[in-house]
Amino acid sequence: MTFDVVAGPPATDGQTLILDAQHIQKYAYDDEGRPIRGTDVLLLSDASLELRAGEVHALVGENGAGKSTLIKVLAGALPFEGGTLDVMGRPRGETTISEVRKEGIAVIWQEFSLAPHLSVVENMFLGRELRRGRRLDKPEMRRQAAAAIASLGVEIDLDSPVERLSTSQQQLIEIARALNEDSRILILDEPTASLSRLETERLIELMAQLRSEGLGIIFVTHRLDEVFTISDRVSVLKDGRSTGTFRTSQTSRDEIVERMVGRQLDSVYQRRGSTVGEVALETRDLRPGGAAAPVSITVHRGEIVGLAGLVGAGRTELARAIVGADPAESGSVLLNGEDVTSWPMRKRLDAGLGFVPENRKDQGVILPLPILRNLTMTEWPRLGAGPFVMPRRERDLARSMVDELSIVARSVDQPAFTLSGGNQQRVAIGKWLARERLVYVLDEPTRGVDVSARYALYQLMEAIADRGGAVLMISSDLPEIISMSDRIYVMRTGSISAEIAPQDATEQSVLTMMLPDRNEGDTNGPAAKA
């Protein structure tokens, strides 16, 4: 994905330093954020970050590098054990999230902190309601909410429950709430991970606007094209240490990647290709629930087939109908030539389907369970006699999968929620690799993971194809679709608009095929789901 550069003033010594974190240390911690007794594991060993007013400062690093831990420290969600942290020229010691908000720091987390059943206005003032005497001052809250949202140049129904709004609209509500609280520092945690291309462009334009109004913005992202589009400076973390801060205009993608992973990586991963065999998966006029048209596709053994489309085009609905997670209205699904349309999801998975859903936190990984359980749950019937699982066999399998997938973890017994996003994604895919599957349906497999983890996942997909497996890869990343696919299907408003070979595809041509005609309507409304 590429954008026009949003020009902005580079950070200089003439701009006011509003946040100064130097040599921050943070040990592995318990559920209350306190260092685990006797631990010598440093999640942050020497992390530093400066932010100036009127600056967008990008923070990048591999999954597990310490980005999330650092922003939790900055947000007051975690105490730190070493280093110094000054905010607005004042040193910070022990504090709370509410006290940090009073300092003028607001964090827009990747997982929003909105109450889904409450209205926009109620969410804007949740926990800090305005009162006139004993009563809520609803007219004033409504006035302030309307003003804050209008300042972002958008229109949102103030009475709508936020669960009915799109991801980008919910994100804007969080930003509007921060502005209404007079926040001067805005930390955006992977803000574009779940946005469409157009929504991402709008957010970047908004960041440029807020920068021009003097806000300091820390922008955490894995997408390096966005770093060069909007940021003035970029800081790199690796293994809990700062490895460099650069003016974005004076560095390169290759230099940043090398600082992130400790080695050079090719700028674009290119699929090697493999021998294509018989048809492994076929849909014949399959119409997922609510779809506008039937869909017919084929995926062969040894093949990676890319499925491109805008948010709301029907890609996820098609994937869920293929694996049996949702019923189809009509049509059929064939696995290795056998009609499995009437089969429940469990039977389809046992017959050779593997499915990694788009939302790994809710559907792909059971976060409270240990890595061991997540990696082995699909194989429990084969790890013991009758209803019992043999602990040694389960542990041996989990350890072998951790080694094979290079999952960064202290132990297979640690909960999955303690892993970085990229390592959670490896667990979500890895549980289907314990036993060879015929077809893997991967919905946004690299969303929210760093460049090194992406390469590992690409190599994993290629290995599946090389041994005769078939991969259906759904992705919103057009360079990824073009470089990794043997064939590309393009979806538009619920149907296949094109089938093309990657050598005949460009980002512009694929995007053109994805865009709906005027008479097809807008597929990116609040209820849209990829």
- pLDDT tens for 8-19 read 444 455 588 999
Range among 156-165, 185-194, 409-418 rated most confident: 156-165
Phi and psi, residue 353, nearest 5°: -95, 140
Per-residue model confidence (pLDDT) at position 263? 55
User: What percentage of the chain exceeds 90 in pLDDT?
Assistant: 35
- Tell whether the model's pLDDT for residue 3 goes beyond 50: no
Higher pLDDT, 344 or 182: 344
Residue whose C-alpha is closest to residue 317's, from 309, 308, 326: 326
Q: Could you tell me if 57 and 234 are in contact, meaning their C-beta atoms sit under 8 angstroms apart?
A: yes
Average confidence score pLDDT of the chain: 83
Per-residue model confidence (pLDDT) at position 4? 43
Least confident of 116-120, 428-432, 436-440, 466-470: 428-432
Range among 7-11, 23-27, 368-372, 422-426 rated most confident: 23-27
Q: Which amino acid belongs to residue 48?
A: S
Per-position DSSP letters for 214-249, written without gaps between them: T-EEEEE-S-HHHHHHH-SEEEEEETTEEEEEEEGG
3-state secondary structure of 381: helix
Per-residue model confidence (pLDDT) at position 262? 67
Token readout for 12 is 């200089």
**How confident is residue 474, by pLDDT bands cut at 50, 70 and 90?**
very high
| Angle 347-353-354 from CA coordinates, rounded to 5° | 120
Per-residue model confidence (pLDDT) at position 527? 32
- Tell whether the model's pLDDT for residue 31 goes beyond 50: yes
Q: For 149-170, what is the mean pLDDT?
A: 87
Cα(68)–Cα(377) distance, integer angstroms? 28
Cα(463)–Cα(151) distance, integer angstroms? 50
- Tell whether the model's pLDDT for residue 37 goes beyond 70: no
User: What percentage of the chain exceeds 70 in pLDDT?
Assistant: 88
Cα(265)–Cα(455) distance, integer angstroms? 9
Contacts of 17 (CB under 8 A, 6+ apart): 50, 51, 52, 89
Handedness of CA 262, 263, 266, 270 (dihedral sign): negative
3-state secondary structure of 176: helix
Q: For 94-115, what is the mean pLDDT?
A: 83
Write out the H or E segment, with its range, that includes residue 162. Answer: none
- Tell whether the model's pLDDT for residue 514 goes beyond 50: yes
Range among 154-158, 221-225, 401-405, 470-474 rated most confident: 470-474
Least confident of 30-39, 275-284, 286-295, 470-479: 30-39
Per-residue model confidence (pLDDT) at position 361? 63
3-state secondary structure of 95: coil
Residue whose C-alpha is closest to residue 492's, from 509, 517, 473: 517
Per-residue model confidence (pLDDT) at position 283? 95
Per-residue model confidence (pLDDT) at position 292? 77
**pLDDT tens profile 122-131:** 998 988 889 9
Find the Cα–Cα–Cα–Cα dihedral 459, 464, 467, 468, rounded to 10°. -140
- Tell whether the model's pLDDT for residue 265 goes beyond 70: no
